């Protein structure tokens, strides 16, 4: 009995929540509403999937939020100031994510700086760094540059379509690009972690590093790769954020880190995994999205949102740790 | 003789599983009662009930004629029942120094003053240490001490309570023989002071040394009480196992093909270089005290450490592994010491633990072939007689002996050139030990097998050849047939180190 509760309790809760809102909030049970929920959690979800990779190897990445905003600023800078194409801007962002991840990994693995501290430091560094090229201003077409001239570049149409295009799915113009990216990345990382030997080894590294090493695993490489994955995923989130906003907004993305970490931790409770897992992370992100959308449609004020998220996280963690340790 | 401590009709169940069933046990003052039991027999549960960790399920416990019902470990200690746990780090606080550890219970007591005089703490600690003849720097941090020294500190700390009943749970499992002897002399002293001692072990050498009476426990039931002198050790072992114990068949064969060779190997800066040859089908044991470099040598052979000098050859090829992955690829496998720390991945189930080093062979491209993994695990479960429900069992549900079988099965599941096992019988009951030893021997042809064993009797029971290590080098070599025991023991003790006997 306890096992069933631990395994399916959270999914049942999610189902119950959806049924409740469908009955209580008219319009909740519509395709548009479903898509909106997905869209609202797409970017945090992508970041959460990345941080899941670092959690799997027993690490943590606090820099994801700032990697995402740095990527957003970099994309804007590349197009608006440097007048590059969408393709170059995207590559530039991905490179930033990969390099930051690599540096994080090297600092943690070779310099032996604890993961929380290393990525906290990196977070600060990036938050500052992304403001230096524009002297602290947001980037938009036609902005005034530090030297007094006016920027002549614009966000390219191709890039903006990453944020605005919607694919047809039964209904015309239904599914936004960000949702498709989220689903594709979720399936990819889930498959990678569950069904490939690299994923298995990453879990082994996270559970017992010494045993993994004595079983022949290149532990250091796996750890560094986890941070690279996390950095790249965060930069993808940043690209989508830039495309959605159409500008490099220094004030945006404040909540990304905490929301993403919360989704990954809520994921521990899904299917009684009690460990980081991609499926759980996706469900965790979705859970928060459903709850917020439902409450919003029932006219709950916006300032209750963080409280609700926090409460969900605490309940999920209790689920994971208290219930699952009782049956051991 | 009056019973200082009495248990009658003790019961304990976890869920539907009955762990202890109508257990009756008496401990007498000034007597060492040895409790023997295979892993999973219920020893640990009994200890935890006595020390106030678990509540008892049914039955009565009496201490000095009074009902004894400890609600917590602290209460048990106050009543005079002191336990030294098997897990050494449970008995000490690693971040504090020795003096603080030795006096901790007084420091944390209700009547303790708010401010301590460090010199007084040091003096109290000195007194506690002297009682045991403890030779450690009182200012040293516990984390800088060897496991053996930590154990001595934990025991010394327990003795500071002036216990009426003392429970020692496999206290010698990580002590060298010199340290174990010191422990035994302390036990003798406690016995003379009239402490009732419950000594839990399945090490025959310990039992012969300390036992006044033996109680055998099997599947939660007391299966034999032996107190007539001379003690019937054979009978006790049979009562514990529930079957006749045959002697391990060691057939000393001469090695045919050379599998592994090391020349002028040096593993520590000031150590004398040594050579080592291992043949096909041979089972060789390297024995020696704790800390003489056995694990270092094992790690050197497995590529985790680099040798400081000398060369190695494997199957007539130069062998210089830079990582454990190199070693595994070359066919050198290591069953590492201390399975919980360096073997078992606790988050993984049985089959995932077994397949861990061989995932490249068990996947198609990079995608795992789970069916192949599970088939291999089932094969090993069958051939090693691992007691479990199926290959998806969680590791924590297995007993120590079965966990170790999983570790051995992991490295037997693929063919190897050289199989190294570092203390494979640590925390393993006799039945499982025999199973593992028999399996190693049966599968020995086709590879060389090298065991690192601190316990000499384990080496005598399993090996064709016994090498002795002392001060990071090999000081003696014996064929396991009519061997010169005095000489071997002298070499172990480091008193006969210049001379090497027997052909390499």
Tell me the pLDDT tens digit for each residue of B125-179: 888 787 767 777 888 888 787 777 787 787 777 777 778 898 988 887 767 667 7
Read off the tokens for B253. Answer: 């064969």
- Within an 8 Å CB–CB cutoff, is residue A326 touching chain B? no
Contacting residues for B357 by C-beta, under 8 A, at least 6 apart: A215, A216, B328, B333, B410, B411
Q: Which of residues 285-304 of A touch B (CB under 8 A)?
A: none
* Pairs from A306-309 (Cβ < 8 Å, separation ≥ 24): A309/A259, A309/A262
HSE of A143 in the Cβ direction (CA atoms, 13 Å)? Answer: 23
Q: Say if the Cβ atoms of B366 and A208 lie within 8 Å.
A: no
| B302–A218 CB contact, under 8 Å | no
Pull the structure tokens for residue B84. 């030294």
| Residue-wise DSSP of B297-325 | HHHHHTTSS--SEEEEEETTEE---SSHH
**Residue A97 · residue A90 · CB < 8 Å:** no
Q: H-type helices in B146-271, by residue range? A: 147-159, 177-192, 204-210, 233-241
Residue B247: band (very low, low, confident or very high) from pLDDT cuts 50, 70, 90: very low
Chain A interface mutation, best of B304, B323, B324, B404, highest count of A Cβ atoms under 10 Å: B324
Closest to A197 (Cβ–Cβ): which among B328, B336, B366? Answer: B366
Global model pTM greater than 0.90:
no
Q: Which residue has the tokens 């495309």?
A: A243
Distance to chain A for B37, nearest Cα, Å: 24
Q: Return the SS3 of B497.
A: coil
Higher pLDDT, B1 or B422: B422
Of B341, B342, B348, Cβ closest to residue A207: B348
In the sheet where B213-218 sits, what is the strand order?
B81-84, B165-169, B196-200, B32-37, B213-218, B221-226
CA of A3 to nearest chain B CA: how many angstroms apart? Answer: 14
CA distances from B335 to A217, B328, B405 (A): 15, 12, 10
Query: Which long-range contacts link A86-95 to residues 24+ away (Cβ below 8 Å)?
Result: A86/A156, A86/A158, A86/A159, A86/A162, A87/A158, A89/A156, A89/A159, A89/A239, A90/A159, A90/A239, A93/A235, A93/A236, A93/A238, A93/A239, A93/A242, A94/A232, A94/A235, A94/A236, A94/A239
Q: Is A1 on the interface with B (CB under 8 A)?
A: no
- CB contact (8 A) between residue A215 and residue B362: no
Domains of chain B: 3-241 (3.40.50.300), 246-331+415-504 (3.40.50.300), 349-413 (no CATH)
Q: Are B404 and B428 in contact (CB under 8 A)?
A: yes
Domain containing A185 equals: 2-326
Query: What rounded mean pLDDT belongs to chain B?
Result: 84
Tokens of B94: 């690693």
Q: What is the CATH number of the domain that holds A236?
A: 1.10.3470
Chain B interface test: which of A6, A195, A208 (most B C-beta within 10 Å): A208
Residue A210 and residue B341: Cβ atoms within 8 Å?
yes
How far, in Å, are B24, B328, B362, B376, B377 from residue B414 at the CA level?
Answer: 47, 10, 11, 9, 11
Rounded-to-integer distance, Cα B172 and Cα B185, Å: 13
Task: Of A207-211, B403-407, B499-503, give the lowest mean pLDDT range.
Answer: B499-503
pLDDT of residue B45: 84
Q: How many CB atoms lie within 10 A of CB A34?
A: 18
Q: How far is B381 from A184, CA to CA, in rounded Å?
A: 39
Whether A68 contacts A283, CB under 8 Å: no
Q: Do B368 and A203 touch (CB under 8 A)?
A: no
List CB contacts (< 8 A) between B329 and chain A.
216
Q: What is the DSSP string of B83-94?
A: EE-SSGGGSS-T
- Using a CB-CB cut-off of 8 Å, the residues of chain B touching A200 are 352, 356, 359, 368
Which positions ≥6 away from A26 have C-beta within 8 Å?
Answer: none
- Across the A/B interface, how many CB contacts are shorter than 8 Å? 72
| Subunit contact B346:A207, Cβ cutoff 8 A | yes
Q: Does A220 touch chain B (CB under 8 A)?
A: no
d(CA B262, CA B237): 40
Which residues of chain A neighbour B324 with C-beta distances below 8 Å? 213-216
Which of A198, A213, A275 lies closest to B347 in CB terms?
Answer: A275
The minimal CB distance from B359 to the residues A200, A208, A210 is found for: A200
Q: B460 and chain A: CB distance < 8 Å anywhere?
A: no
Instruction: Please report residues of A whose CB lies closer than 8 A to that of B367.
Output: 195-197
Name which of B347, B266, B334 is nearest B304 in CA terms: B334
Sheet bearing B448-453, strands edge to edge: B332-335, B418-422, B448-453, B283-287, B465-470, B473-479
Pseudo-torsion of CA A223, A229, A232, A233, nearest 10°?
A: -130
Contacts of A212 in chain B (CB under 8 A): 345, 356
Residue with tokens 């497995």: B302
Q: Is the Cβ of B341 closer than 8 Å to some Cβ of chain A?
A: yes
CA A72 to CA A93: how far, in whole Å? 8
Distance CA A60, CA B455 (A): 43
Chain A contact set for B368 (CB, 8 A): 195-197, 200
Please give the structure tokens belonging to residue A167. 């694919």
Q: Is the pLDDT of residue B207 over 90?
A: no
Question: With contact defined as beta carbons under 8 Å apart, do B244 and B430 qualify?
Answer: no
Residue closest to B246 by CA, chosen among B461, B402, B92: B461
Strand-pair category, B448-453 with B283-287: parallel
Strand-strand pairing, A171-176 and A166-169: antiparallel
* Mutation for A interface: B15, B302, B368, most A CBs within 10 A: B368
Residue B401: its H or E element: helix B400-412
If one counts the domains in chain A, the total is: 1
Contact A214 B343 (CB under 8 A): yes
Interface residue B420 vs chain A (CB under 8 A): no
Per-residue pLDDT of chain A (328 residues; tens, 9 = 90+): 677 877 888 889 899 999 999 999 888 888 889 999 999 999 999 999 999 999 999 999 999 999 999 999 999 999 999 999 999 999 999 999 999 999 999 999 999 999 999 999 999 999 999 999 988 889 998 888 888 888 888 999 999 999 989 998 888 888 999 999 999 999 999 999 999 999 999 999 999 999 999 999 999 999 999 999 999 999 999 999 999 999 998 888 888 999 999 999 999 888 888 889 999 999 999 998 998 888 888 888 888 888 888 888 888 888 777 766 654 4
pLDDT value of position A72: 95
Q: Are A198 and A229 in contact (CB under 8 A)?
A: no
Look at B347 and A200 and tell me if their CB atoms are within 8 Å.
no
3-class SS at B27?
Answer: strand
- Answer for the pair B43, B37: CB distance below 8 angstroms, yes or no: yes
Q: Do B328 and A216 touch (CB under 8 A)?
A: yes
State residue B404's pLDDT score.
94
Is B347's CB within 8 Å of A206's CB?
A: yes
Inter-chain touch B325–A218, beta carbons under 8 Å? yes
Residue B275's H or E segment, with its range, is strand B274-279
Question: How many angstroms separate the CA of residue A52 from the nearest CA in chain B?
Answer: 16
What is the mean predicted confidence (pLDDT) over B332-338? 94
Q: What is the DSSP letter of A277?
A: -
Q: B346 at the A interface (CB within 8 A)?
A: yes
């Amino acid at each position: 009995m306890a096992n069933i509760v631990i395994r399916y309790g959270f999914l049942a809760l999610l189902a119950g929540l959806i049924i409740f809102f469908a009955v209580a909030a008219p319009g909740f049970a519509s395709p548009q509403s479903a898509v909106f929920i997905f869209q609202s959690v797409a970017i945090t979800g992508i970041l959460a999937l990345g941080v899941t990779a670092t959690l799997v190897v027993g690490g943590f990445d606090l820099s994801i939020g700032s990697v995402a905003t740095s990527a957003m600023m970099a994309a804007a800078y590349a197009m608006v100031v440097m007048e590059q194409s969408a393709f170059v801007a995207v590559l530039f962002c991905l490179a930033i994510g990969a390099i930051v991840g690599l540096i994080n990994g090297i600092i943690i693995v070779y310099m032996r700086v604890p993961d929380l501290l290393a990525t906290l430091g990196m977070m600060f560094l990036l938050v500052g760094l992304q403001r230096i090229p524009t002297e602290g201003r947001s980037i938009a077409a036609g902005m005034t540059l530090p030297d007094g001239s006016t920027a002549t570049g614009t966000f390219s149409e191709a890039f903006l379509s990453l944020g605005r295009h919607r694919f047809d799915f039964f209904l015309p113009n239904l599914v936004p690009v960000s949702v498709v990216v989220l689903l594709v990345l979720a399936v990819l990382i889930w498959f990678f972690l569950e069904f490939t030997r690299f994923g298995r080894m990453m879990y082994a590294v996270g559970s017992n590093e010494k045993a993994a090493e004595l079983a022949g695993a290149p532990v250091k490489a796996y750890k560094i790769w986890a941070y690279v994955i996390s950095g790249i995923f965060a930069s993808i989130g940043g690209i989508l954020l830039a495309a959605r906003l159409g500008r490099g907004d220094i004030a945006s993305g404040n909540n990304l880190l905490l929301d993403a970490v919360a989704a990954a931790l809520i994921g521990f409770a899904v299917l009684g995994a009690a460990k980081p897992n991609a499926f759980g992370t996706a469900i965790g992100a979705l859970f928060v999205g459903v709850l917020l959308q439902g409450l919003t449609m029932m006219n709950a004020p916006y300032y209750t949102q963080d409280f609700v998220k926090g409460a969900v996280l605490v309940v999920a963690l209790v689920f994971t740790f208290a219930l699952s340790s009782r049956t051991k | 003789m009056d019973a200082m401590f009495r248990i009658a009709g003790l019961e304990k169940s976890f869920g539907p599983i009955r762990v202890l069933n109508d257990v009756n046990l008496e401990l007498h003052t000034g007597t060492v009662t040895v409790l023997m039991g295979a892993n999973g027999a219920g020893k640990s549960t009994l200890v935890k009930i006595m020390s106030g960790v678990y509540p008892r399920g049914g039955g009565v416990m009496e201490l000095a004629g009074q009902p004894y019902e400890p609600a917590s470990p602290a209460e048990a200690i106050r009543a005079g029942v002191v336990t030294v746990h098997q897990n050494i780090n449970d008995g000490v606080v690693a971040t504090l120094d020795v003096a603080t550890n030795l006096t901790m219970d007084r420091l944390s007591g209700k009547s303790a003053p708010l401010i301590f005089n460090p010199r007084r703490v040091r003096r109290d600690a000195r007194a506690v240490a002297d009682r045991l003849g403890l030779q450690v720097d009182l200012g040293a941090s516990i984390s800088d001490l060897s496991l053996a020294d930590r154990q001595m500190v934990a025991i010394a700390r327990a003795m500071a309570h002036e216990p009426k009943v003392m429970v020692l749970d496999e206290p010698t499992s990580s002590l060298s023989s010199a340290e174990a002897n010191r422990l035994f002399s302390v036990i003798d002293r406690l016995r003379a002071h009239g402490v009732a001692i419950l000594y839990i072990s399945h090490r025959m050498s310990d039992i012969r040394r300390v036992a006044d009476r033996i109680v055998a426990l099997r599947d939660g039931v007391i299966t034999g009480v032996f107190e007539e002198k001379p003690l019937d050790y054979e009978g006790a072992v049979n009562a514990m196992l529930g079957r006749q114990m045959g002697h391990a068949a060691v057939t000393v064969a001469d090695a045919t093909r050379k599998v592994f060779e090391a020349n002028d190997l040096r593993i520590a800066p000031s150590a004398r270089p040594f050579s080592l040859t291992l043949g096909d089908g041979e089972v060789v044991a390297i024995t020696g005290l704790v800390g003489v470099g056995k694990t270092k040598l094992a790690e050197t052979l497995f590529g985790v450490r680099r040798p400081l000098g000398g060369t190695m050859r494997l199957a007539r090829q130069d062998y210089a592994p830079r990582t454990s992955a190199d070693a595994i690829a070359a066919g050198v496998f290591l069953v590492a010491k201390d399975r919980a720390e360096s073997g078992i991945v606790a988050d993984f189930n049985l089959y995932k633990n077994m397949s861990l080093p061989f995932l490249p062979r068990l996947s198609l491209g990079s995608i795992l072939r789970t069916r192949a993994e599970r088939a291999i695990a089932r094969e090993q479960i069958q051939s090693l007689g691992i007691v479990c429900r199926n290959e998806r069992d969680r590791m924590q549900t297995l007993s120590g002996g079965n966990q170790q079988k999983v570790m051995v099965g992991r490295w037997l599941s693929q063919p190897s050139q050289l199989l190294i096992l570092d203390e494979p019988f640590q925390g393993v009951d006799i039945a499982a030990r025999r199973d593992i030893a028999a399996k190693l021997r049966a599968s020995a042809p086709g590879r060389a097998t090298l065991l690192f064993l601190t316990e000499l009797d384990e080496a005598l029971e399993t090996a064709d050849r016994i090498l002795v290590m002392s001060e990071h080098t090999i000081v003696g070599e014996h064929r396991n047939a009519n061997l010169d025991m005095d000489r071997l023991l002298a070499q172990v003790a480091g008193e006969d180190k210049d001379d090497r006997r027997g052909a390499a």
